[in-house]
């Protein structure tokens, strides 16, 4: 209808009606709507947290590894429907918080409130990823945007994994590619590009599935993406040779299975000695103890040195022990791998270089030192080693080289790669996850050794104080069953050796460099408008303008 002035009357749209009068000073058109938007956004944020936590199920101990290829789909489907970039960023952050809380939930008894703080801060890494997902997958993507998404969304995820892999931010625990530790095709892929390339493949498949499910008009692009992923995996599986065996090594893993209790460190030492003596006559090349198996520094204790030397003589094999004690030749507490042969200590000593935040040191202790009063944070900071060490073991006319790592360090691909390039024939991880016995942590930690073996083409021994202990061949396949957390015993594993140099050992973290290039190129294309989404109704306005 027309008003007396000849113009159509304007009625407010239902979603723009003012709030009822709330009294003097009310702002019916501003804060009321903002409050409603915030209230409506809370369930969505909680949903994003839950969806972001789903990937925890693909890691041990749940071990639903096959679900890794769709575990991000619900989260990405939510992000792509965000009404704006700000909401997409918030969905990314909330999902990242959920992911980190789920993957590190077993740390809660040790770090308490710091786990939530850590998740909230590191979750910010997913803010730009959320924007990227919406920009490339939101609405009705063009074929160009869909193709870009297949490359850029996995690359963006990989850069997040890179940043949070820094030791000071908690280290590379829960990398998505690590969920594929027992999949032969994924292990072959790891030998080419490390765990990073496996993560790329997993996220790329998730992205292709989103295109298949959410964008019917681009199902061909999704199918093409899945085919490309299958081609990459197949090339890795059949185009890359399995490491060539060059002999074998017999390694014993000693797991005393004692944590605390009467006697403490001395009880662990006595039990480890007892179990090691039971290995006599088994033609061993090396005996490995778990982390913190010795609570005194042998270099300042002649009696302990003599005892460990006699033990090596009794089993006729070198014994690699791990000392968690104050050193006698320098100030501070170190975690160190020391080698004892039938002729005495070799003098080789590896001091742990990368320490667990809060577990072995408190970052900014002057500011955060109060963490020791609410959790199980380190009362005194451990000291760091300065360089990796490869130990030489003369064995029947040959030289066997052993590269030791201590616990947390097995999560870092670059450390085992460095040992392999320095000539290590066997990589040994001495670990103790006894603080987290009844959690998923021991199984997850042991599984990382499979990735390190596949990446380097070297067998990896993961020997622990209380479990889980396991050994892997140079192809990443586990040799023999694992030793569970409730076991106190010693097992022997015969592991094939290999002199093969893997692509990853030679070329390193090249997928990370590629991810930088891809994300940079996509950002440049978006800035130039090549991938920009058309505003709703733009074509209609142009058409009406053309009709005059």
**Residue 113: predicted pLDDT:** 78
9 DSSP 8-state letter: P
36 closest CA partner among 47, 25, 20, 54: 20
HEC secondary structure over 435-486: HHCCCCHHHHHHHHHHHHHHHHCCCEEEEECCCCEEEECCCCCECCCCECCC
Q: Is the peptide bond before 61 cis (omega within 30 degrees of 0)?
A: yes
**Residue 34: predicted pLDDT:** 56
**Residue 438: predicted pLDDT:** 79
**Contact by Cβ (8 Å): 123, 385:** no
pTM of the model: 0.87
**Residue 5: predicted pLDDT:** 34
DSSP string, 24-72: TT--TTTHHHHHHHHHHHHHHHHHHHHHHHGGGGGSTTT--GGGGGTTT
Q: Can you tell me whether residue 398 is helix, strand or coil?
A: strand
How many CA atoms are closer than 13 Å to the CA of 117, on its beta-carbon side? 7
Mean pLDDT of successive 10-residue segments in the chain (548 residues)? 40 39 44 58 93 96 93 97 95 97 87 85 96 93 89 97 89 94 93 95 95 83 87 76 83 84 76 95 94 90 95 96 90 94 92 85 68 66 91 77 95 96 96 82 94 96 93 96 91 94 94 95 76 49 41
**Residue 468: predicted pLDDT:** 92
140 closest CA partner among 533, 541, 523: 533
Contacts of 22 (CB under 8 A, 6+ apart): 28, 32
**Alpha-carbon 412 to chain mean position:** 9
**Residue 1: predicted pLDDT:** 42
| Cα(441)–Cα(260) distance, integer angstroms | 19
Contacts of 540 (CB under 8 A, 6+ apart): none
**Residue 338: predicted pLDDT:** 96
How many CA atoms are closer than 13 Å to the CA of 251, on its beta-carbon side? 30
Angstrom CA distances, 182 to 58, 154, 422, 489, stand at 12, 22, 27, 25
């Amino acid at each position: 209808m027309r008003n007396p002035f000849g113009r159509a009357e304007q009625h407010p749209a239902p979603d723009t009606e003012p709030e009822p009068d709330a009294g003097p000073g009310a702002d019916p058109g501003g804060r009321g709507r903002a409050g409603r938007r915030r209230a409506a956004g809370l369930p969505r944020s909680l949903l994003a947290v839950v969806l972001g936590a789903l990937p925890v199920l693909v890691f041990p101990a749940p071990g639903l590894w096959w679900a890794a290829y769709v575990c991000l789909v619900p989260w990405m489907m939510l992000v792509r429907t965000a009404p704006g970039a700000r909401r997409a960023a918030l969905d990314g952050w909330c999902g990242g918080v959920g992911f980190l809380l789920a993957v590190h939930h077993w740390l809660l008894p040790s770090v308490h409130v710091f786990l939530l703080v850590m998740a909230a801060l590191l979750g910010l890494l997913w803010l730009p990823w959320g924007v990227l997902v919406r920009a490339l997958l939101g609405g009705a993507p063009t074929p160009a945007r869909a193709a870009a998404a297949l490359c850029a969304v996995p690359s963006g995820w990989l850069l997040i994994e890179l940043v949070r892999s820094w030791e000071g931010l908690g280290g590379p625990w829960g990398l998505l590619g690590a969920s594929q530790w027992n999949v032969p095709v994924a292990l072959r892929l790891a030998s080419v590009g490390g765990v990073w390339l496996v993560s790329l493949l997993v996220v790329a498949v998730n992205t292709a599935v989103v295109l298949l499910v959410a964008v019917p008009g681009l199902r061909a692009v999704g199918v093409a993406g899945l085919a490309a992923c299958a081609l990459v995996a197949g090339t890795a599986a059949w185009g890359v040779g399995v490491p060539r065996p060059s002999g074998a090594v017999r390694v014993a893993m000693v797991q005393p299975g004692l944590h605390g209790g009467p006697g403490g460190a001395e009880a662990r030492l006595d039990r480890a000695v007892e179990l090691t003596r039971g290995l006599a006559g088994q033609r061993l090349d090396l005996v490995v103890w778990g982390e913190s198996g010795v609570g005194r520094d042998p270099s300042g204790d002649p009696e302990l040195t003599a005892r460990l030397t006699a033990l090596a003589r009794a089993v006729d094999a070198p014994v690699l022990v791990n000392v968690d004690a104050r050193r006698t030749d320098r100030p501070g507490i170190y975690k160190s791998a020391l080698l004892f042969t039938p002729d005495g200590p070799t003098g080789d000593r590896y001091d742990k270089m990368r320490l667990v935040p809060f577990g072995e040191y408190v970052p900014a202790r002057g500011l955060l030192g109060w963490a020791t009063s609410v959790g199980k944070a380190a009362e005194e900071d451990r000291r760091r080693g300065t360089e990796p060490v490869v130990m030489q073991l003369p064995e029947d006319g040959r030289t066997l080289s052993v590269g030791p790592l201590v616990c947390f360090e097995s999560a870092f691909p670059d450390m085992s790669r460095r040992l392999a390039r320095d000539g290590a024939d066997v990589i040994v991880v001495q670990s103790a996850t006894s603080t987290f016995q009844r959690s998923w942590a021991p199984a997850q930690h042991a599984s990382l050794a499979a990735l390190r073996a596949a990446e380097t083409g070297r067998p990896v021994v993961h020997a622990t104080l209380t479990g889980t202990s396991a050994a892997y061949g140079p192809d990443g396949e586990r040799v023999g069953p694992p030793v569970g957390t409730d076991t106190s015993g010693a097992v022997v594993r015969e592991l094939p050796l290999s002199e093969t140099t893997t692509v990853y050992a030679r070329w390193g973290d090249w997928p990370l460099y590629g991810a930088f290039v891809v994300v940079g190129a996509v950002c440049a294309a978006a800035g130039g408008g090549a991938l920009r989404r058309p505003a709703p109704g733009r074509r209609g306005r142009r058409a009406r303008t053309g009709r005059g």
